[in-house]
Amino acid sequence: MWKILGAQTIYIDIPDTAKNRLMELAGEGEKEAKFKSLMEMSEIMFLLNGETEECSFFITVPDDLTPEDIQIMADVVLAVAKGIPFPFVEVEDTEQRYQVIITNNKEPELLGINKTPGMSAAEVFKPILKSLNSKGKVNPDFYN
């Protein structure tokens, strides 16, 4: 069983559990209230690296946030991580390595209903294909 910030959860609910628990554990105050409102506007994605067994929480924030807003988020998340008496991520009573990444970078969708305009698979690979056919110095390691 997974535990995120002390709350038991199943794998598919980890992002929601993390978001809710971060807001619960943030505490009270002006900075914490701002953090909670920023978290409401943000989205959390959870990734597990099977090779390194490291858990990654990507907090994707809106583009209009200021650097000061992002710093508030980072400060509160760090305060929560340092202040809790239990592991941030725990699986079957074993503490896991983790990282929290605050970003506004959005990967373009190449396929599907919500495909990003101008970012079809062909558009992404055109510069690569063009570079293979254009003039310039040959990479000596290309054929090795």
> What is the mean predicted confidence (pLDDT) over 126-140?
72
Measured distance between the N- and C-terminal CA atoms of the chain, rounded to whole angstroms:
48
> What is the mean predicted confidence (pLDDT) over 17-33?
94
Rounded to whole angstroms, the Cα distance separating 37 from 60 reads 14
Residue 16 has pLDDT above 70, yes or no: yes
Topology at the third CATH level for domain 2-106? GMP Synthetase; Chain A, domain 3 (3.30.300)
Which phi-psi region, left, alpha or beta, contains residue 108 (left: φ > 0; alpha: ψ -120 to 50)?
Answer: beta
Burial class (CB in 10 A: 0-12, 13-18, 19+), 96: middle
Give which of 99, 101, 100, 32 is closest to 72, Cα–Cα: 32
- What are the E-state strand segments in 36-133? 43-49, 54-60, 89-91, 94-95, 97-103
Is there a contact between 78 and 99 (Cβ–Cβ < 8 Å)? no
Residue 12 is predicted with a pLDDT of: 94
Q: Where are the domains of the chain?
A: 2-106, 108-138
pLDDT-derived band at 20 (thresholds 50, 70, 90) equals very high
Q: Tell me the pTM.
A: 0.71
